[in-house]
Amino acid sequence: MGNLRLILFVLSTSLLFSQSVISLPQSFQAAFRQTVTNEQKKQIVYRGEIAFSSPDHFKWRYLSPSKKEVCSDGRELLVVDHDLEQVTGYRMDKGLDLPAILNNAKPHRKSVYIAKFKGKNYTIQVNSRKELSRIAYRDDLDNNVLIVFSKMRYGDKKIPDSKMKCDYPDSYDRIGW
């Protein structure tokens, strides 16, 4: 269930970073806090770091409550669960129109944008420097998801591909290849 949440989150956020009225740099790195709240109001809070490199490379390093890495090059998604010593590979859905969500983003308030995509609503907030600050949405499992970014560092160069890959030992079990 946790991997499904991560996959849905990465697919959702990859939509958010494709093209937008929200200006994004060639790359950014930040700390994040992701709060997932189910319908019974039970919460789980993940903490970690994210790196984004244009046009569609992501690396999420979950540091707590468990250690995971989620990496994507826009075509493949890799989930490394260090606690389970397991690596799962997925092909991303090529039929999904990734830029569409941001093409639908509309200013809502001073620093808030609303985007609708495939029946879902996304709320995107930027800080005073117009940098990405928060993303909120309801995932496919009917959980409310809030991601708050901090220590945001925008860059004007791509992050080398080698730094965007998930690292794991050869001894980890591999699933989905």
Domain positions in the chain are 2-98+136-167
Query: What's the pLDDT tens digit per position in 135-172?
Result: 898 888 899 999 999 999 999 999 998 999 999 999 99
For the domain with range 2-98+136-167, which CATH number is right: 2.50.20.10, 2.40.50.140, 3.90.1580.10, 3.30.9.10? 2.50.20.10
pTM of the predicted structure, to 2 decimals: 0.79
Please report, as a single letter, which amino acid is at residue 21: V
Three-class DSSP category at 93: coil
CA angle 41, 134, 20 (to 5 degrees): 130
DSSP secondary structure string, 13-52?
A: HHHHTSS-SS---SEEEEEEEEEEE-TT--EEEEEEEEEE
- Would you give per-residue pLDDT tens digits along the chain (177 residues)? 565 555 555 545 554 444 445 666 788 899 999 999 999 999 999 999 999 887 778 899 999 999 999 998 878 889 999 999 999 998 876 333 333 555 677 889 888 989 887 788 889 888 888 788 898 988 888 999 999 999 999 999 999 989 999 999 999 999 986
